[in-house]
Amino acid sequence: MKLVFLGPPGAGKGTLAVKATVLLKAPHISTGNIFREAIAAGSPLGVKVKAIIDAGKLVDDGTTIELTRERLGQGDVKDSFILDGFPRTIAQAEALAGFSNIDRVINFDVPDSVVIERLSGRLVCRKCGFNWHKTFNPPEKAGVCGKCGGEIYTREDDRAEAVKKRLDIYREQTAPLIGYYREKGLLTDIDARPQVDAIL
Ligand code: AMP
């Protein structure tokens, strides 16, 4: 099964993908995670994208398409994958159609107020990537991941200014993909207001 998870930042795509990847035995590909790993490693890609990501803007289509094309060319994702955070523009969706078929696009439907509440309290483990939340799911020991003992931090792009920017960009550049995929008969809407534990 080849799936795309589509939705605004903070909709719960990544959290649901971590669960779905085990159930469906489909590798989870998050372009955001790939960029963050590149930044942490200080690779040329990481150096190139750090300021863009911290500001909540989109990395250019050329770089993102090439990275995803390369990842989808690997053997483990020949029959199944969950793409989380790609495509984010019509140009990316058109490029994707040229190098992979997609079975279904899951559209995470959630209002801005919920997104802002989730992102402003989100805490991420630097080591295992698990998402905690200051109010809804706080770690037992402040600053320490209860899953792996790693350090917990607030993503630079979860700060208020960057969140606003990301939502604006989502509306302008990513939301048109809802109509694009609905027209192709590929879209399934889910109500992403409940916490992920209540969905899957
Ligand atoms: P995410 O973890 O999916 O919220 O992605 C974090 C950041 O990585 C985004 O705000 C963008 O700056 C960048 N990014 C991730 N995926 C894409 C994409 N498909 N196109 C452009 N930029 C992306």
Residue 197 token pair: 């534990």
Give residue 15's pLDDT band: very low, low, confident or very high (50, 70, 90). confident
Q: Which of 34, 53, 168 is the pocket-test mutation for ligand 1 (most atoms within 8 Å of CB)?
A: 53
Give the residue carrying structure tokens 């795309």: 4
- In the chain, what are the domain boundaries? 2-189
Atom number, ligand 1, closest to the C-alpha of residue 162: 10
The whole-number pLDDT of residue 175 equals 97
The answer, yes or no, to whether any atom of ligand 1 lies below 6 A from the CB of 158, is: no
Please give the full DSSP string across 22-43, using - where no structure is assigned: HHHT--EEEHHHHHHHHHHHT-
pLDDT single digits (tens) 113-139: 999 988 989 999 988 888 899 998 999
The answer, yes or no, to whether any atom of ligand 1 lies below 6 A from the CB of 95, is: no
For the domain bounded by 2-189, which CATH number is listed?
A: 3.40.50.300
Measured CA to CA, the distance from residue 67 to residue 72 in angstroms comes to 9
The answer, yes or no, to whether any atom of ligand 1 lies below 6 A from the CB of 8, is: no
The whole-number pLDDT of residue 198 equals 56
Put simply, whether the predicted model's pTM sits higher than 0.85 gets the answer yes
Does 107 have pLDDT greater than 90?
Answer: yes
pLDDT single digits (tens) 23-54: 999 999 999 999 999 999 999 999 999 999 99
Expressed in angstroms and rounded, the spacing between residue 82 Cα and the centre of ligand 1 is 15
The answer, yes or no, to whether any atom of ligand 1 lies below 6 A from the CB of 31, is: yes
Residue 14 token pair: 């990544």
Non-local (6+) Cβ contacts of 124 within 8 A are 130, 131, 132, 152, 153, 154, 155
Nearest to 65 by CA among 41, 89, 38: 89
pLDDT single digits (tens) 144-200: 999 999 999 998 889 988 898 999 999 999 999 999 999 999 999 999 998 766 555
